Amino acid sequence: MSEPVAKPKSSAALVQSRRNALRSYLGAYGFMAPAGVLVIIFFLIPVAIVLYLSVTNLASSNFTSDLAKMEFIGLKNYQTLLNDQFARKIFFNTIFYVLVTLSLFNVSLALIVSLLTTHIDRSAGFVFRALWILPRITSPVVYILIWKRMMAEAPFGILNQFNEFLGQPTYNYVATNPWVFVVVVNGFIGVSFGMIIFTSAIESIPKDLLNASLVDGSSRMQRIRYVILPLIRWPLLFVVTYQTLSLLTSFVEIQLLTDGGPGLYRTEVWSLTAYHRALSNYFGNAQWGYGSAFAVLLVMIGVVLAVIYMRVFRFDELVAEPRVEAL
């Protein structure tokens, strides 16, 4: 420009620069659109619907084709929920289930499996890890059926056939020890995720560093403690946080295995309750509104936890640079 004095931009120039900004935004939004549409259709809209349902009394008993007659009842569902005599039990069931499964299997066993399989012959390690992925890639229905058939009473259960053969009493093991099986069955599935993350983290530790530790005088156990574990701290935190959220919302396996029983709510967890109340009530009355209130609370807990995790463990940094490589 030959004009040295800065003039206010003409309206044409303003429109032009806005158009440019818009164009650059369009590119970015364009690339995000496919994922965005999925999130909107399968997450945001359902959440909105559930939120709305949770403040209505919609149920199969009062359902008419005229949805306009659906009654708005405010927070009454939530009030009922808090006074529900079983809500407390289900809440603690959920905490128990998440903490025990997470600590014993999704983190500890996953860590043990990845440490063991990275300390043996490479191809043997690969085979073992492949076996541990089987529960994850098997259809849940098939997987649970296998467990049930193994543990069922004679003459169906394989283990009990031995008992019968030996003249021992036979049990339905799932019914006698429901929590053990709920945790183990889910844990076996949960191992694979942490195992994959931990293994790749361990294998990306430079060989020199591992050799240096041995030469410096550490045993293999000391090397795990002083070198490997500190170096995979970030993947560890990631698995803990991610799997907490994922366990909190999982219920398919429990539904198929015990359906929350045996007895009243013995192994019922929060997400399963939401399903039961809304869609599969024993008495045949599907309380869509009330069940939605359960679901909404779960979503809220999940969102709060996610935000805390992102703050505390600084996920933005975790995503920004791969920690193990940043040596």
Partner 1 sequence: MEIRIDNLTKKFGDVVGVEDLTLHIEDGEFVAFLGPSGCGKTTTLLTLAGIYKPTDGLIRFGDRVVNTVQPKDRNIGMVFQSYALYPHMTIFQNIAYPLKLKKAPKNVQNEQVRQVANVMGIGELLDRRPGQLSGGQQQRVALGRALVKEPDVLLFDEPLSNLDARLRLTMRGEIKHLQKNLGITSIYVTHDQVEAMTMADRIAVMNGGHLQAFDAPDELYDRPKTRFVAGFVGNPPMNFLDVEVSPANGQFLAQADSIELPLGVERGEASAGHRGTVVMGIRPEDIQIVDEGDVRGEIFVVEPLGREDLIDVRIGPHSFILLADTEKQHRAGELVSLNFDMTQAQFFDPQTERSLLWHQ
Extract the tokens encoding 68.
Answer: 């306009």
**Least Cβ distance, residue 250 to partner 1 (angstroms):** 33
* Least distance CB 199 / partner 1 (angstroms): 20
Least distance (Å) between residue 215 CB and partner 1: 4
Residue 95, SS3 per DSSP: helix
User: 34 or 230: whose CB is closer to partner 1?
Assistant: 230
Can you name the residues that pair with 56 across neighbouring β-strands?
72
The residue among 30 and 230 lying less far from partner 1, judged by its C-beta, is 230
Q: In the bound complex, what is the minimum distance in angstroms from residue 320's beta carbon to partner 1? A: 15
DSSP state string for 269-323:
-HHHHHHHHHH--TTS---HHHHHHHHHHHHHHHHHHHHHHHHHTTHHHHHHS-T
Least Å distance, CB 112 to partner 1, is 21
Instruction: Name which of 3 and 121 has its Cβ closer to partner 1.
Output: 121
286 is written with which tokens?
């599907």
- Report the distance separating Cα 265 and Cα 259, nearest Å: 9
Specify the residue, 71 or 216, whose C-beta has the smaller distance to partner 1. Answer: 216
* Residue 262, preceding peptide bond in cis (omega within 30° of 0): yes
- CB closer to partner 1 out of 72 and 226: 226
d(CA 253, CA 271): 12
Binding site for partner 1 (CB under 8 A): 206, 208-209, 211-219, 222, 226-227, 230-231, 233, 326-327
